[in-house]
Structure formats: structure tokens, C-alpha cells
Amino acid sequence: MEATILLLTQLSSNLVSRLASVELEEMAEYMRERDAIFIQLQQMRPTPSEAAELRPAVDRILAMDALIVARMNLLRGEAKAEMDKLANGRTAKTTYEDAYAMDQESYFFDTKR
């Protein structure tokens, strides 16, 4: 169990060390690896003494998770802003197109003076 906790600690600390430049794809890969480690952890049954011994390492992981979750929320906010921007652009385009849809057969004449 200690090796699995150490692996999770290393995975989390690697991500935290480059958190400012992490993109969405890297975050998704981290979550896949983390989920696999958690599946391993859920299958283990530590004794109370082992759990007490590993508690500081788990607390460090939880502290890193708070930073990671903050970055994930920031990325989610950025993605939502971009999606809203695209939706507003589509709305403006359809509004503009709908306003001139009935004039498709109109003609313009230039007159000479």
C-alpha cells in the first residue's frame, strides 16, 4: 500500500510542479492514471496502524488535490467562456441572416444623375 501511495504522491507532485502550464489533455491523462491508482487502493485493506502511518502522505496528496482542483476549475471556466463566445457568435449570425432572409430576391438599381 505504501508503494501505491508513493506512486500517487509522485504523480500529483509532478502535475503540481508544472500546474501553471498544464492543458486540458494533460489533466485528463492525470485523472485516468489517478483513477487506476485509486482502484488499486480501494482493493487494499490497511490495518489501523498502517493507515495512521500513511496519514501524513495522504494529507500531502489532499493538499496537492486542492491546487489541482483549482486549476481544473480555471480550465473549465476558460472553456465555458470560449463556448459562450461561440454560441453568441452563432446567435448573432443567425439573427443577421434571418433579418435578411426575406430579401433574397430583391434587386438593387444604381441610378445616374
pLDDT at 103: 55
Report if residue 72 sits inside a domain.
yes
Q: Which domain holds residue 17?
A: 2-100
Would you say residue 100 has pLDDT above 90? no
Report if residue 11 sits inside a domain.
yes
Report if residue 111 sits inside a domain.
no
Report if residue 105 sits inside a domain.
no
Q: Which three cell numbers stand for residue 95?
A: 439573427
Report if residue 106 sits inside a domain.
no
Report if residue 108 sits inside a domain.
no
Query: At 17, is the pLDDT very low, low, confident or very high (cuts 50, 70, 90)?
Result: very high
Does residue 64 contact residue 13 with C-beta atoms inside 8 Å?
yes
Domain count within the chain: 1
pTM (two decimals): 0.71
Does residue 30 contact residue 11 with C-beta atoms inside 8 Å?
yes
Mean pLDDT for 92-101 is: 70
